[in-house]
Amino acid sequence: MTQKITNALTFDVEDYFQVAALAEAVQYDDWPSMEYRVEANTDRILCLLDEAQTKATFFTLGWVAERSSALVKRIVAQGHEIASHGYSHQLIYNQTPDVFREETRKSKEILEDITGQAVTGYRAASYSITHQSRWALDILCEEGFTWDSSIFPVHHDRYGMPGTPRWPHRLKTDNGHELAEFPLSTLKLPGYTLPIAGGGYFRLFPYWFSQWGLGSINRKGQPFVFYLHPWEVDPGQPRLDVKWFSRFRHYNNLDVCEARLQKLLSQFQFTTMTQVLRNRGVLDN
């Protein structure tokens, strides 16, 4: 029954030390000196996808693409989609519009130079397009993006636009541009909207709960978007010294994540985000 709907499978290609939850332990200037693990971890994901004969969208950080152009080429060679995850993984609502525009343009150019293809999809670092940084949507349109998956319609300490639409839709920006938006998937419970799209939630909840929650979206006739990061299938990553809550968020259940992903790939149908948006008629062919 859940096989009928095709969902969007997405990976945010960044390394463990670039995550907002660990920012208290690693500064941007420290990044070049950290052990670099994103290539090996992304290759493991590419293997899993090859075995499952599944295509996905890889939102790739410009900083990573600059160092790993061969990896970006391998992703494309396997038939997956490349989209932008910005350049420096700084939270959008902490940036000025000028800095955001500059980084967005830079990361798009880096990815397009490597792939030789137009890059038209975007996901903000830590879903940091919020009510406060809605201006970023206009800049995305002005810089040539046609679709976005940055909005999490939940309450959260770092992100979220509670009350916004939960399904793929055409979004009108403040300056009148239009963008196809695929909000991160949520589950509507009495009085509460629960994030269920992947990442830390996928590692926190028991597998059966994610399966049930994601399946319930498909039973409504809607696709869900699922996301993971390459570092989430890497239990051997160096442990950074951060406060207990950040530590829990980042390191919880890393050792079971890869097996869960394999199970998910066998139980649901997935493809790239562009394909799902086209299937739903919110993005032109």
Residues near Zn ion (CB under 5 A) are: 12, 14, 125
Nearer to Zn ion, 84 or 210 (CB): 84
Nearer to Zn ion, 14 or 181 (CB): 14
Question: Whole-angstrom Cα distance, residue 171 to residue 273?
Answer: 16
Question: Whole-angstrom Cα distance, residue 28 to residue 237?
Answer: 18
Q: Least separation, in Å, of the C-beta of 81 and Zn ion?
A: 17
Q: Strands 192-195, 186-189: parallel, antiparallel or unpaired by DSSP?
A: antiparallel
Q: Least separation, in Å, of the C-beta of 12 and Zn ion?
A: 4
Q: Least separation, in Å, of the C-beta of 151 and Zn ion?
A: 14
Q: Coil, strand or helix: which one is 177?
A: coil
Nearer to Zn ion, 89 or 101 (CB): 89
Burial of 209 (0-12, 13-18, 19+ CB in 10 A): middle
Q: Least separation, in Å, of the C-beta of 219 and Zn ion?
A: 30
Tokens of 21: 């939850």
Question: Whole-angstrom Cα distance, residue 264 to residue 232?
Answer: 15
Nearer to Zn ion, 61 or 161 (CB): 61
Q: Strands 81-84, 269-271: parallel, antiparallel or unpaired by DSSP?
A: unpaired
Closest CA to 148 of 178, 114, 107: 178
Nearer to Zn ion, 15 or 258 (CB): 15
Q: At residue 20, what is the residue type? A: A
Q: How far is CA 183 from CA 79, 148, 192, 202, in A?
A: 24, 8, 17, 17
Check: CB of residue 262 under 8 Å from CB of residue 254: no
Q: Least separation, in Å, of the C-beta of 2 and Zn ion?
A: 27
Q: Least separation, in Å, of the C-beta of 10 and Zn ion?
A: 11
Nearer to Zn ion, 273 or 282 (CB): 273
Q: Least separation, in Å, of the C-beta of 190 and Zn ion?
A: 31
Nearer to Zn ion, 19 or 261 (CB): 19
Nearer to Zn ion, 5 or 72 (CB): 72
Question: Whole-angstrom Cα distance, residue 263 to residue 259?
Answer: 6
Which residue's Cβ lies closest to Zn ion? 12
Task: List the beta bridge partners of residue 188.
Answer: 193
Q: Least separation, in Å, of the C-beta of 59 and Zn ion?
A: 7
Tell me the CB-side half-sphere exposure of residue 270, using CA atoms within 13 A.
28
Question: Whole-angstrom Cα distance, residue 125 to residue 94?
Answer: 11
Q: How far is CA 62 from CA 66, 125, 244, 252, in A?
A: 6, 12, 30, 27
